[in-house]
Amino acid sequence: MPSIEVGTIGGGTILEPQGAMLDMLGVRGAHQTNPGDNARRLARIVAAAVLAGELSLNSALAAGHLVQSHMAHNRSQPVTRTNTPAPATAEAAPKSPTESNPVAKALAVSLEKQRGIAR
């Protein structure tokens, strides 16, 4: 990956989750003696992760596992109502979006009161 752009200083690196990941990888901030070493190390880590993913994908394709798993999980057909699992019973499914969400239910009741609609 000759032109991968990564950064260990500035930008999103000041955000807590991003900083924590850079700390975990040991590449946060500037290298103490060789500027750019942390960025180069991060680029190598990213390239290694991408390569591992590509190797895994290619081995699954070569062994036929990818196609088998898609067929087993019924991803060979477009999603329709007939092949989408439905709730076990009619009572388990909410009758309206407001019944499954207490905030939406309270808002609906409030709007009905404002409009003078009683249930």
**What domain range is 78 assigned to?**
1-85
Q: How many domains does the chain have?
A: 2
98 and 64: one domain? no
Per-residue pLDDT, 26: 93
- Token pair for 5: 């752009």
65 and 100: one domain? no
Amino acid at the residue 48: A
78 and 47: one domain? yes
How far is residue 106's CA from residue 11's CA, in Å, rounded to a whole number?
41
The CATH number assigned to the domain holding 9 equals: 3.90.770.10
3 and 60: one domain? yes
111 and 94: one domain? yes
73 and 42: one domain? yes
30 and 10: one domain? yes
Q: What is the pLDDT averaged over residues 30-46?
A: 92
Determine if the pTM surpasses 0.85.
no
> pLDDT per residue over 45-88, tens digit each?
999 999 999 999 999 889 888 888 877 776 656 666 666 666 65
10 and 53: one domain? yes
Per-residue pLDDT, 19: 92
Per-residue pLDDT, 117: 59
**Which residues lie below 8 Å from residue 118, measured CB to CB, with a gap of 6+?**
112
How far is residue 38's CA from residue 32's CA, in Å, rounded to a whole number?
9
9 and 59: one domain? yes
How far is residue 46's CA from residue 52's CA, in Å, rounded to a whole number?
10
